[in-house]
Structure 1
Amino acid sequence: MTDKARLDEVLAQLDAGQDDALARLLDFLRIPSVSTDPAYRGDVRKAAEWLQGELQQLGFEARVHDTTGHPMVVAHSPRGNARSLLFYGHYDVQPVDPLELWDRPPFEPELQTGDNGKVIRGRGASDDKGQLMTFVEAFRAWKAVHGSLPTDLILLFEGEEESGSPSLRPFLREHADELRASLAMICDTGLYSDGRPAITTQLRGLVGEEVVIRAADRDLHSGMFGGLAANPIMILAQALGALKDSDGRVTLPGFYDGVNDLDDSLARDWAALGFDATDFLSKVGLSQPIGEKGRTSLEMVWNRPTAEINGIAGGYAGDGFKTVLPAEARAKVSFRLTGKQDSEKIRAAFREHIRAHVPEDCSVEFHEHGGGPASVMDISDPAFALAKQALTDEWEREAAYIGSGGSIPIAGDFKQILDMDSMLIGFGRDDDRIHSPNEKYDVESFQKGARSWARILASLR
């Protein structure tokens, strides 16, 4: 039997089993696996055990591993001599608040008719249970048709991604030999905005900092002390305002060390996407792009680092007016990183920048809020071109290599701890309302997602 014939049988099996696959997903979505709320701890374990049972039925050696937080599910297919692949997803979900904004109970999922066809409505439908199950259904179909899987597979399904993954790095280090593979597959991303399939090949890193500046031992009358006493809000505003110059570049010394210009090949691919920044901004009530001069819009959100003020507080902000010099001011600041920027060097440079603006008789303190490097995948690995062609074949649209302005820390963890690149392929859409009431996942994304993974498995075996 030819490779094409073998694949065609698997795709036919997926098509024939669509109703059963949807029923399984709805069962999975009924488990309220909210990792951030201790009240749901038992339900998070129930979801892990549900996955373990499904994988054991497919012939995987599956185990629920306890951690200091929520469980990890690890599964192995019978070992052969083929290329090994690690598949990662998470089975925990976001809280449902505000509950009153849901059109139906969030853990009573159902199929509905949406604007563009059938959708699966319920918490976790897109993030990440529906995406995770595209893996499982592809494996199921392959096993049903051929009696075995096409390559060595390792599955890692996490139960605390929505809680910041506190147990993940220790778990990866402890189980590195068991989990290490030639390539990781992560299904926690989406289609490009126009609906074409995409492989995310780079992710920005992150540095988060909170800064608190204190001056007098109490709020002061601005008439009696204004012009003489230090004003923490003014000090903080001046320091934060000096983070960028008039061209939109960050002024911290050494900030751009390790930042690379966009590769010519990727630049052409991104230009071909036809991204319209004005249209993109219009969807959030804006119209004028700003940012670093001399850079394209996609460069600025995918391939350039930035500094942003996420929150600032101090003084009197209630109704009416109160003329005070506040005793304290605070701000939350984040940096998105690209290339090989060093997150800890940037954190240190930011702190030194703030200290340089603070008078001797005032105090400043800093609170770290996470950090990690950017992830850039080596797309010279032939697997990327093969997967891109498999996606193109399934969706009948040319697949694209894209970047992401956000951060998916697991990709960096796989690189740092397990020394392997990741292929980020997902089928979510911009309107899936992840983390919001009335989350949904298109039935087309679920079905074609599973078919996509079947094609990728066939191409990489």
Structure 2
Amino acid sequence: MTEQAALDLADKGLDDSLNRLFDLLRIPSISTQPDHAPDCRKAAEWLVKELGEIGFEASTRETPGHPMVVAHAKGPEGSPHVLFYGHYDVQPVDPLNLWTSAPFEPVLVKGPTGEMEITARGAADDKGQVMTFVEACRALRAADGTLPLSVTMLIEGEEESGGVNLMPFLKANRNELKADVALICDTGMLGRGMPAITTMLRGMVGEEVTITCANRDLHSGMYGNAARNPIQLLCDILSDLRDGATGRVTLQGFYEGVPVIPEETRALWRKIGPTDADGLAPVGLSLPAGEIGYTALEQTWCRPSCEINGISGGYEDKGFKTVLPSKAMAKVSFRLVGNQNPEAIRAAFRAHVETRLPADCKAEFTAHGGSRASIVSADMPFLPPALKALEEEWQHPAAVIGCGGSIPVVTEVQEALGMDSLLIGFGLEDDRVHSPNEKYDLSCFHKGMRSWIRVLYALAAQNKH
């Protein structure tokens, strides 16, 4: 087997690989919109066809929602077995008027940095990332007639709409999907030309609370001061979620299970990551909020958070109305790290609200999901060779990083299949994921293919000592 031959074929076949990606991007597989259910199926079937052409045993698998794509290719006897995960569904395109080109007519244009960019919905999240792996397997097959290790692919169609059918599918097909390690390509790099493997993902708890005081909206002149204002009450309760002096979240037991990050790790992050001012500058800010004593990067990578995502009540239309509302509502999310328990955090939040309610007022709660954080151990045997392979391709040290977001599949794979995951992605901060004019750098697509070739060879060598 020759790694260089596969790399050469990936280079020579780049235009063809790009054309195949464009074909997939043209399918408007928006999973959250029922009218696009046929498009989701079309995307799944397109992937099955392409994977079949490069030697995989591929099929669509039915779920109560959109179909899964499952594909298998056997490697040499005794080689490791990897499970690759990605998703073919995409976000809605609204607002359409902000797109500079049709969202499902991919174009290749020169971006502000001078890099060529693939612009389309799904270019970075996650079709472009999925196709880096598919095209790497294509080059490996063409070079060697086989893959250097056994590969199973699981590509779902509901990641952008909650993924409710993934966990049941993993459990029902545990024996078929079980492998030595999962490879997930739905993350990004540390920066342009700076490869990384994400080893820390935050979990999440979402809560919606509605506070009711009076039994109807009131005239603020007739009842102001005398009747409780639910907006004021809600604001007071939400304000108490953080200590104003330290920035720490005040919920009872909130920091139980939060790990202490070693000082040497924090020092490395300060060296490789942006300063607070640089990291916040793209969004027009310069000073970090949250906990005192932590950088902005640390607060997204390794610290838990509490954020008010929406608040409403009373008169919200144009003009002015002197109303004293009956109800007020807020949506609050908590990002979790380490071993924080989502249900314990949910219970603590509800207790925080209820203990601050006057006797004649009430609160109603709606849960909006909950997932644990995920941490990949530094001792995981597949981590060092993967880091080395990325460094060889990008000619830059590969970093171990955290991610402020939540990718539930990581914990679901751990719980259902008992497997750790390596999160290797090639997205960039400016990819406008979920926004108009989503893009994926051509260099990320090209070098992403080459990276996977190197990574698969490196992982295959783990059993050849």
TM-score normalised by L of structure 2: 0.96
1:46 aligns with one of 42, 45, 68: 42
Deviations 1:341-368 (CA, angstroms, capped at 9, x unpaired): 0000000010011001111111110000
Superposition pairs for residues 379-418 of structure 1, below 5 Å? 379-418=378-417
Instruction: Provide the residue aligned with 1:201 in structure 2.
Output: 199
Residue 393 of structure 1 and its aligned partner are, at CA, apart by 0.8
Residue 117 of structure 1 and its aligned partner are, at CA, apart by 2.3
Asked if 1:112 is matched to 2:117, the reply is no
Deviations 1:49-72 (CA, angstroms, capped at 9, x unpaired): 111011111111111001000000
Structure 2: which amino acid aligns with 1:96? V
Which SS does the other structure have where 1:239 is aligned?
helix
Deviations 1:322-345 (CA, angstroms, capped at 9, x unpaired): 333210011000001000000000
Taking the aligned partners of 2:92 and 2:323, their CA distance within structure 1 comes to 39
Asked if 1:36 is matched to 2:36, the reply is no
2:4 aligns with one of 4, 8, 11: 8
Structure 2: which amino acid aligns with 1:106? P
Deviations 1:213-241 (CA, angstroms, capped at 9, x unpaired): 10111122233322222211121111111
- Over 3 Å counting, the alpha-carbon distance change for 1:149 and 1:439 in structure 2 is same
Instruction: Provide the residue aligned with 1:268 in structure 2.
Output: 267
Residues 195 and 429 of structure 1 are in contact (CA less than 8 Å); yes or no, is this contact kept in structure 2?
A: no
Instruction: Provide the residue aligned with 2:150 in structure 1.
Output: 152
Superposition pairs for residues 185-200 of structure 1, below 5 Å? 185-200=183-198
Taking the aligned partners of 1:300 and 1:324, their CA distance within structure 2 comes to 39
Instruction: Provide the residue aligned with 2:213 in structure 1.
Output: 215
Superposition pairs for residues 441-460 of structure 1, below 5 Å? 441-460=440-459
Residues 262 and 299 of structure 1 are in contact (CA less than 8 Å); yes or no, is this contact kept in structure 2?
A: no
Q: Bigger CA drift: 317-326 or 348-357?
A: 317-326
Taking the aligned partners of 2:191 and 2:348, their CA distance within structure 1 comes to 36
The alignment covers a number of residue pairs equal to: 457
Residue 256 of structure 1 and its aligned partner are, at CA, apart by 0.5
Instruction: Provide the residue aligned with 1:61 in structure 2.
Output: 57
Instruction: Provide the residue aligned with 1:335 in structure 2.
Output: 334
Q: Which runs of 5+ in 1 are unaligned?
A: none
Give identity over the alignment, percent. Answer: 55
Q: Which runs of 5+ in 2 are unaligned?
A: 461-465
Deviations 1:366-420 (CA, angstroms, capped at 9, x unpaired): 0001110101111211311111111111011111111001111111111121111
Any runs of at least 4 consecutive aligned residues in structure 1 with deviations exceeding 6 A, and if so which?
Answer: none
Structure 2: which amino acid aligns with 1:17? G
Taking the aligned partners of 2:179 and 2:51, their CA distance within structure 1 comes to 19
- Over 3 Å counting, the alpha-carbon distance change for 1:319 and 1:96 in structure 2 is closer
Which SS does the other structure have where 1:289 is aligned?
coil
Instruction: Provide the residue aligned with 1:22 in structure 2.
Output: 18
Instruction: Provide the residue aligned with 1:96 in structure 2.
Output: 93
Deviations 1:227-264 (CA, angstroms, capped at 9, x unpaired): 22221112111111111112011111111110011134
Which SS does the other structure have where 2:382 is aligned?
helix
Residue 296 of structure 1 and its aligned partner are, at CA, apart by 2.7
Superposition pairs for residues 132-143 of structure 1, below 5 Å? 132-143=130-141
Taking the aligned partners of 1:142 and 1:46, their CA distance within structure 2 comes to 26
Taking the aligned partners of 1:120 and 1:354, their CA distance within structure 2 comes to 47
Residues 197 and 424 of structure 2 are in contact (CA less than 8 Å); yes or no, is this contact kept in structure 1?
A: yes
1:174 aligns with one of 167, 172, 175: 172
Taking the aligned partners of 2:318 and 2:183, their CA distance within structure 1 comes to 52
Taking the aligned partners of 1:317 and 1:438, their CA distance within structure 2 comes to 31
Taking the aligned partners of 2:372 and 2:378, their CA distance within structure 1 comes to 18
Instruction: Provide the residue aligned with 2:463 in structure 1.
Output: none
Instruction: Provide the residue aligned with 2:437 in structure 1.
Output: 438
Instruction: Provide the residue aligned with 1:289 in structure 2.
Output: 288
Residues 87 and 184 of structure 1 are in contact (CA less than 8 Å); yes or no, is this contact kept in structure 2?
A: yes
Taking the aligned partners of 2:301 and 2:102, their CA distance within structure 1 comes to 36
CA RMSD of aligned residues (A): 1.4
Taking the aligned partners of 1:406 and 1:274, their CA distance within structure 2 comes to 17
Which SS does the other structure have where 1:249 is aligned?
coil
